[in-house]
Amino acid sequence: MTDQLVPGTPGRDPYGSTAPGALPAPVSLGPAAASAEEPVEEARTAESLLEALDDQQRLAAEALLGPVVVLAGAGTGKTRAITHRIAYGIQAGVYPPNRVMALTFTSRAAAELRGRLRELGAGPVAARTFH
């Protein structure tokens, strides 16, 4: 089976963009945006977050509106694509950090998500388990 990426059809923008596909002004995710116990790297531009991704990961990360299904095997970068999508959406001003929650199945995976998001400058995002 080959890896597949299926972007969803963007629906109505829940955050009030005026034009389809238009991104609001970027927000800063520098050290002031995180709490004192969560150090983050220097603020990044939205575009710089995507530079380290391969083409399929980048496609998933750039699909900011609507659902995205990422089907891939172990170790192929699914979590990387998801965390970069969250960080990119926040940096682009599409996702308010206090309105994003990353959900997973285990406490260990949630801790991994929190760490990766913090490294990307999206430390304020909640990462929790279903349980």
Residues annotated in the binding site for ATP, as ranges? Answer: 72-79
Binding residues: 72-79
Q: Which residues of 75-113 are buried (b: 16+ CB within 10 A; e: fewer)?
A: eebbbbbbbbbbbbbbbbbbbebeebebebeeeeebeeb
Q: What gap in Å lies between CA 37 and CA 120, rounded to an integer? A: 16
Q: What gap in Å lies between CA 5 and CA 108, rounded to an integer? A: 26
Angle between helical axes of 107-119 and 78-91 (0-180°, round to 10): 50
Determine contact, residues 36/88, Cβ cutoff 8 Å. no
